[in-house]
Amino acid sequence: MYSKPEMLLQLMLREWQMERPKLLLTVQGGSENFTLPPKVSQAFSKGLITAALSTGAWILTDGINTGVSKYVGEAVKTFGSHDLRKRNTVGVTPWGVIDNNSDLIGRDVSVFRPYQPLGNPLSKRACLNGFHSHFLLVDDGTLGKHGCQQGLRRKLEKHIQLQRIHPRELVCLSHHPCSLPLLVGLNQGVPAVCVVVEGGPAIVSTVLDYVSRVPPVPVFVFEGSGRAADLLAFLHKQTLSIFFLKLVHNLALGQTKSELKKASC
């Protein structure tokens, strides 16, 4: 059973003393290493951090030192604030995929311990990315399995969205020159934006979940990052919105997974 999201948020605000978010940027994508074209990497890194700093956002990732989470860590390193209190980048990470996770039990551990930078090249597990500010480690009893954290992450995101923002902060927020132009028409809750970079078949289901929520969560797809992101971008450009949602639904059901394999070639 997952920890209650309200208890996790209380931990983050009271114990970790994180500033209450005015925006939630949830980054989804490939968990294995991949290479982004330089222009896409620059646009993603600078755009993500500019959006986060200018709005007082929290960034959520899987927190591991591979795939899209690694790119987020590099973005924080290159463009992030020198004030560590403003680096609100949280990894929601599967416990069972972390290399040497027993080293993290029962002690106050810094993310910059020698334990994590490179890891064992022979291990199939991953290390935590040291440029994230905080981690929530999700243990469902499995080992080496990605994805078990998504249920808790969804519940936490939804709970954060229920938190109220002061009207004055909404006025200021709407005037920020955010490079993710999806902040129009905010209500009093914390707005969320999903950012998709690369990814495999599971990302299609994830995107469907975000756009099917009430209210829907905007999804910002980085075209040119590869695989699922490129397929989603192509479908969106080639179809009307109503047909696009049907195609995404069919993809999520696995009816056209072969298209993802073609996109990865």
- The pLDDT tens digits for 195-231 are 999 999 999 999 999 999 988 999 999 999 999 999 9
pLDDT computed for residue 102 by the predictor: 82
Comparing CA positions, the residue from 21, 20, 26 lying closest to residue 193 is 26
Separation between Cα atoms, residue 207 and residue 202, nearest integer Å = 9
Q: Which neighbouring-strand residues pair with 28?
A: 196
Long-range contacts of 6-11 (CB under 8 A, 24+ apart): 6/159, 8/136, 8/156, 8/159, 9/156, 9/159, 9/160, 9/163
The CATH number fitting domain 5-227, selected from 3.40.50, 1.20.1440, 3.30.70, 1.20.5:
3.40.50
Distance from C-alpha of 39 to C-alpha of 58, rounded to nearest angstrom: 24
Residues recorded for the chain: 265
Contact in structure between 156 and 9 (CB atoms under 8 Å): yes
Query: Residue 98 has which token pair?
Result: 């972390």
* Structure confidence by residue, pLDDT tens digits, 40-84: 999 999 999 999 999 999 999 999 999 999 999 999 999 998 887
Please state the φ and ψ torsions of residue 46, each to the nearest 5 degrees: -70, -40
Q: Work out the mean pLDDT of the chain and round it to a whole number.
A: 83
22: left (phi over 0), alpha (psi -120 to 50) or beta: alpha
Res. 180: pLDDT tops 50: no
* Nearest one of 96, 45, 105, 51 to 75, comparing CA atoms: 45
Can you list the positions of beta strands (E) in 104-190? 134-138
Beta bridge partners of 27: 195
Which long-range contacts link 119-125 to residues 24+ away (Cβ below 8 Å)? 119/65, 123/99, 125/97, 125/98, 125/99, 125/101
Of 193 and 186, which is predicted with more confidence?
193
Express each pLDDT in 137-160 by its tens digit: 999 888 888 888 999 999 999 999
Q: Is the pLDDT of residue 105 over 70?
A: yes
CA distance 149 to 213: 19
Report the predicted TM-score, pTM, of the whole model to 2 decimal places. Answer: 0.83
